[in-house]
Amino acid sequence: METKVLLDKIKASQAVAVAAIEADSKAAVAAIKAEAEVKVAAIKAEAETKAIKAAEAITRATLAQARQSGKLVVQTARREAFDSIMTAAKNAVATDDAAAQRFADKQADLELYLAGQLPA
């Protein structure tokens, strides 16, 4: 009987040891899981921030391109309107040589003035 009592004590001691190991393992798994969830959340937040910044950069670049394109269209339209006015004025004075010379002089003066208005 002493052997049985000894075996029961050993089994009870092992059961306590196994229960302690299982509890420690569960606690370690829970800690690792919590830490992993925190890291995953941080990675997701960082990725979301990067995506937002990239989208904002693309938006800014697209808006800058649109503004530049708009400025180019306006500039082209102004130049075409100016050329049209100058051609019509030139045609109006084409029959009178003195008027044509005065027009050419005024046109040259205007072109020099406008060239001076452009940034270097």
pLDDT at 1: 61
Which residues of the chain are modeled with pLDDT < 70?
1, 118-120
Q: Where are the domains of the chain?
A: 2-117
| pLDDT (0 to 100) of residue 51 | 93
Residue pair 90/103 in contact by the 8 Å Cβ criterion = yes
- Report pTM: 0.50
Please give the Cα distance from 58 to 67 (Å, whole number): 14
Contact 86, 107 (CB under 8 A): yes
Q: Would you state the pLDDT for residue 120? A: 58
- For residues 93 and 100, the answer to whether their CB atoms sit within 8 Å is yes
93 φ, ψ to 5°? -105, 10
Per-residue pLDDT, 53:
95
Quick one: pLDDT at residue 17?
86
How many C-beta atoms surround the C-beta of residue 93 within 10 A?
15
